[in-house]
Amino acid sequence: MGFTVAQGLMLLLLIASTMAVSKANRGCKFENQPFHHPNNTRTSNRIIVGDSYHWNFGFNYTDWAIKHGPFYLNDTLVFKYDPPSPNTFPHSVYLLPNHRSFTKCNLRKATMVGNVTQGGGEGFEFELKRPRQRYYFACGERNGFHCVNGTMKFFVKPIFR
């Protein structure tokens, strides 16, 4: 019997999921010592979103959040981005109200937490104050295009230490 289109799509989805999980677990050690994640400290952390890449178009922040989790209560996310200029695209930081808004990049009920100028210099800081609440972040510039293309958005769910 041959493959149907639906079976082919399911196989493709299974392969993509397996690759994503294996990529997220890269660097994990399964020897006699426990795995220590870089964010596994006893104090609050100051975490630069995107590491040295900062908050810029073309970087996948969902992957970044998966690799840098878990995030803990009272950790501070630092969003660094260039202020508007003729040579750069402006960026901002919006907090979206729920998963549906996040997946659709619907900014209508979102709250701007960092405007286009706040990311310069030391960056804009956002403290994760509510345990077990999901924080959905996205860039709202260009009518949400930076979010819609799937890269300038991510969510975190802080937990207790």
What gap in Å lies between CA 108 and CA 97, rounded to an integer? 10
Contact by Cβ (8 Å): 138, 102: yes
pLDDT at position 35: 39
| Residue 6: predicted pLDDT | 57
The predicted pLDDT at position 148 comes to: 92
Q: In what order do the strands lie in the sheet with 76-79?
A: 46-48, 76-79, 124-127
Q: What is each CA distance from 90 to 4, 110, 115, 131, 156, in whole angstroms?
A: 45, 18, 9, 31, 23
Report the pLDDT value the prediction gives residue 87, as an integer from 0 to 100: 87
Task: Dump pLDDT digits (tens) for 26-83.
Answer: 444 433 434 344 555 568 899 999 999 999 998 999 999 999 999 999 999 999 999 8
Question: Would you state the pLDDT for residue 150?
Answer: 73
Q: What is the DSSP letter of 143?
A: G
- pLDDT value, residue 1: 55
Q: Are 85 and 113 in contact (CB under 8 A)?
A: no
Q: How confident is the model at residue 84 (pLDDT cuts 50, 70, 90)?
A: confident
Residue pointed to by tokens 């975190």: 156
Read off the pLDDT of each residue in 77-101 and give the average, rounded to a whole number. 93
Give the type of residue at 39.
Answer: N
- pLDDT tens digits for range 100-158: 999 999 999 999 999 999 999 999 999 999 988 999 999 999 888 999 987 899 999 99
Which tops the pLDDT comparison, 8 or 71?
71
CA atoms within 13 A on the CB side of 130: 5
Count of H-run helices and E-run strands, the chain: 4, 7
Nearest of 143, 28, 32 to residue 89 by alpha carbon: 143
Instruction: Please tell me which residue, 8 or 159, carries the higher pLDDT value.
Output: 159
Residue 41 confidence (pLDDT) = 58
